[in-house]
Amino acid sequence: MSSTVDSVDGGVADVPEYPMTRAAGCPFDPPPELREKQRQAPLARVALWDGSTPWLVTRHAEQRKLLADPRVSADPTNPGYPSPAPVSSAERTSGSPLSFILMDDPEHARLRRMVTGPFSVKRVEALRPKVQRIVDEAIEAMLAGPNPVDLVESFALPVPSLVICELLGVPYSDHDFFQSNSRVIVNRNSSQEDRSAATGRLTEYLDGLVGDKLVDRGEDLLSDLAERVEAGELPRDEAARMGVLLLIAGHETTANMIALGTLALLEHPDQLEALRETDDPELVSSAVEELLRYLHITHNGRRRVALDDIDIAGETIRAGEGLIVANDIGNRDPEVFDDPDGLDIRRGNRRHMAFGFGVHQCLGQPLARLELQVVYGTLYRRVPTLRLAVDPEEIPFKHDGSVYGVYELPVTW
C-alpha cells in the first residue's frame, strides 16, 4: 500500500505506508518492502497513520549514528515526533506514561540512573542460580500439567514475570492483572481510550505498591524508589511510572523472545539440536545473541525526532522531522552480517540492535540475556521431545503488537 504526497523537492513521490506487512509464510523475516527500501537507500520517506511522512532509517551504520546523536530526541511532545498511535491529551499534559524511555537527557539520565544499579552485569549475574531455579520449577510444573499445552501461558510468560516481580518487589499473585493490562498497552490496535485506561490502572497499582514500600521497606527496586521519594529526590507519581515501565519491559519482551525463539528453533531443527547437545555456555550465549538479532521483536521501529538539521548519507534531515529507525531490518544488513537471513547460533556477532543503540539502549539487557541463556540452555535439554502440537500455519502471530511474538504456542512432548 502507498499514498501519494508532495516530496520535499516539490515533486510528487510514491511513499509507502509504515508499518509494513510481513510476507505470508515468512513469520521470522521483516517485511519484503522494508528490505527493498534498505537495498535502495539508507534513508527513505514513509507515510504514517496520520498522513505524516517521517524518515525511515534502513541501514545499520546510519541507525547507529542517528540513535547515538544528541540532536535526535525521543520525547514525543516535540513537534514532528512520529507517533505510532494517537496520543491522548492527558498524556500530552501529564508527561509520558512510560517515564524516561520517552525523555531526553539530562532528565532521562537522572531517572535512568536511579534504577540501573540492579541491572548491572555483575548484579544480574549473581541472580543466575535464582533464575535457574525459577526456570527449573516452571518446566517441572509444565510437565506435571496437561499435554499438549500452550507454552506462552504455561512457561514463556510466567518465567520473566516471576523474575521481574522478584526484582521489583511486585507480588506475582497479581500477574493476571498486570499481564492483561500490559497486553492492552503493547497492542498497537488498542484504542487510545483502552490504552490510557490500562496505563492508568497499572500506574495506580504501582503507586499503591510504592506507598506500601514507604511504610515497609524490602530488598527490592520499588523499595529503592520509595527511599528516593521519601528523600525528596523523586516525585511519587514518577516513581510509579518508572515501576510501570520496568514491569512491562521486564516481562513482555522476554516472554515473546522465549516463545518465538522456541518456535524459530523448532523450525530450524539442526540449530535446535546443536543447542540441545552443547555443554558450552559460550554457545548458549551466542545462540541468545543470534536469536535476538534474527527475531528482533520490537518491530515497530524506534521513534525519534530531529531537534536540529542533520546531514547524513547525502540527505539533510531537517529540525522537526520525524525518524523511524527500523532496527529489525538493520539486524539483517548484509554490510554487517554475512548471510543475514540465516539463523546461525554459532555466528558470534553481538553488533545487532535488538536492544537499540544510543543512551536509550535497553537497561535491562543483562537480565534479558541471563533469562534467555537459562531458558534456551535448559528447556530443550530437559524436554528433548518438545515439538509443536499444531501445524505451523495455525500459530497466531502478533502482527498487531508493538512487540512481535506469538499469542499462543501449542506444544507437546
Site residues (vs other proteins, CB under 8 A): 67-68, 109, 112-114, 116-117, 119-123, 350-351, 355-363, 365-366
Nearest approach, Cβ of residue 325 and other proteins (Å): 13
Nearest approach, Cβ of residue 164 and other proteins (Å): 17
Nearest approach, Cβ of residue 120 and other proteins (Å): 4
- Provide DSSP, 28-52: TSPPHHHHHHHHH-SEEE-B-TTS-
List Cα–Cα distances, 140 to 279, 330, 388, in angstroms.
Answer: 21, 38, 19
Helices (H), 296-341: 327-330
Q: Is 315 left (phi over 0), alpha (psi -120 to 50) or beta?
A: beta
Q: Are 263 and 275 in contact (CB under 8 A)?
A: no
Q: Are 151 and 411 in contact (CB under 8 A)?
A: yes
Nearest approach, Cβ of residue 391 and other proteins (Å): 39
- Which is nearer to other proteins, 374 or 388 (by Cβ)? 374
Q: Are 401 and 189 in contact (CB under 8 A)?
A: no
Helices 158-168 and 175-186, packing angle to 10 deg: 110
Q: How many CB atoms lie within 10 A of CB 396?
A: 9
- Which is nearer to other proteins, 200 or 356 (by Cβ)? 356
List Cα–Cα distances, 150 to 59, 117, 382, in angstroms.
Answer: 36, 35, 17
- Which is nearer to other proteins, 289 or 328 (by Cβ)? 289
Nearest approach, Cβ of residue 386 and other proteins (Å): 29
- Which is nearer to other proteins, 48 or 66 (by Cβ)? 66
List Cα–Cα distances, 27 to 10, 174, 317, 337, in angstroms.
Answer: 38, 32, 32, 20
- Which is nearer to other proteins, 266 or 359 (by Cβ)? 359
> In the chain, what is the straight-line distance between the N-terminal and C-terminal CA atoms, in Å?
42
List Cα–Cα distances, 326 to 129, 196, 261, in angstroms.
Answer: 36, 26, 20
Nearest approach, Cβ of residue 362 and other proteins (Å): 7
- Which is nearer to other proteins, 320 or 356 (by Cβ)? 356
Nearest approach, Cβ of residue 119 and other proteins (Å): 6
- Which is nearer to other proteins, 276 or 360 (by Cβ)? 360
